[in-house]
Amino acid sequence: MVILTLNCGSSSAKYQVFDWDNQDVIASGVVERVTQEGGSITHIAKGKGEVKTNHECPNHTIAVELIIRTLTDPEVGVISDMSVIKAVGHRVLHGGDKFTKSVIVTPEVLETFRSVQDLGPLHNPANIMGIEAAQKVLPNVPHCAVMDTAWHQTMPDTSFMYAVPYEWYTDYAVRRYGFHGTSFLYTAKRASVVLGKKPEDTNVIIAHIGNGASMCCVKNGKGFDTTMGITPLEGLVMGTRSGDCDPALAFYMMRKTGMSVQDIDNALNKKSGLLGVSGKYADRRDISKAMAEGDKRAELAFKLETYRLRKYIGSYIAAMGEKPDALVFTAGVGEFHAGVREAVCSGLEHLGIKMDPAKNAIARTRNAETCISADDSPIKIFIIPTDEELVMTEDAYALMKGTYDVHTKFTYSFQSPNYVNKGRAEGLVRDLEKNPDLAKIIVKIPGAK
């Protein structure tokens, strides 16, 4: 039995194929430049390596059809025909406050996604197109929606409300929603495993740092607060997003320059953050290289990003009302950028967060959970590589079987101390060959056999 997961963005379509019987990823890839010229598909099949093919994809229907043809191709494919796919999981950015868990897609569910797409104008239309395209190609299997916002529905009103006219909330659904929920669900559950605790007894602060970045305060195993707001713009300094700033800034710039609402939206989402401050770079690798060459604006961008992260950690410790068990780094930058992690943790020793610089320097893998805190640190510092696709896969399977429920009443396979990701286990062998010292910081799972 095979589960297909799709993540359709405005100009891309990512996919993963999971062999449920063998509990293994057998293929993954991405179609890029959907709706634009110069489209292509990059396909990675287990045991067959990587193949990239140019192919124009003027819409998401053609992109999904291209994925299906690639998966069944005699040379590079991994399945004989589409009948082995029994369910499809779809990432949906914004479900508003209508969903607290993943759901099987129905016409009513799709209509709800359309009704809130003003809250996610860059993502929801593409998510909907991807679902509809996949339904045309695979009409006889359940299609399941996994929402970035669902995890955060446990936040109390003091965390999700804005201090604006209350009618904005009742009439226009203005509130904090939060995103990266699937990543936070995975890393929060794995943090409980790593700590040897029950989810309901686990208190952690998670920093999901990629091009987009957000943090989540997890109290008693549930989302308590998060940095992103009604859209993914609020909160941390990101690759091209400003994060927190005075709302009056937009009015000021419109009066001074004549910028339109669309101009402001574009500037804050696509021309700000690291790119806006440095003037050139949105990628942290480029920022680091420029800093080493003496670029002061790149250095300022780096300091702004890490200061904002550090400030939120302090505020979440205060909001939690007790000492957290751990600080968790995840996503591309969180998992691989030692410099960002070190700068974020620097100066937090008085709060109980004490990093071991030597451990941090060798922590570079997506294939294992590592501990980079000093041995005497009251609060642990973990790097837990995220796995959003696995959450989507397990949700889709459970929905298909009728065994799924909200995460506080549902147990995932990765919550077992004995859980093993086969692909990551294979990758870890290669990582250890290149970096033998990595073995010293890999977390030993309590209770694992």
Q: What are the residue numbers of the active site?
A: 148
Residue at token pair 């101009």? 263
- CB 280, CB 300: distance < 8 Å: no
Q: Which amino acid is at 160?
A: F
Whole-number Cα distances in Å, 427 to 170, 335, 430:
49, 15, 5
274 dihedral zone (left: phi>0; alpha: psi -120 to 50; beta): alpha
Mapping DSSP to helix (H, G, I), strand (E, B) and coil, where does residue 417 land? coil
- CB 91, CB 7: distance < 8 Å: yes
The DSSP secondary structure of 181-236, one letter per residue, reads HHHHHHHHHHHHHHHT--GGG--EEEEEESSSEEEEEEETTEEEEES--SSTTSSS
196 dihedral zone (left: phi>0; alpha: psi -120 to 50; beta): left
Nearest to 92 by CA among 136, 123, 61, 63: 123
Record the tokens describing residue 433, joined without a space.
Answer: 């060959």
Mapping DSSP to helix (H, G, I), strand (E, B) and coil, where does residue 401 land? helix
DSSP E strands in 292-349: the ranges are 326-330
Mapping DSSP to helix (H, G, I), strand (E, B) and coil, where does residue 174 land? coil
CA 163 – CA 151 distance, rounded (Å):
23
- CB 105, CB 145: distance < 8 Å: yes
Helix-helix angle 60-71:124-137, to 10 degrees: 50
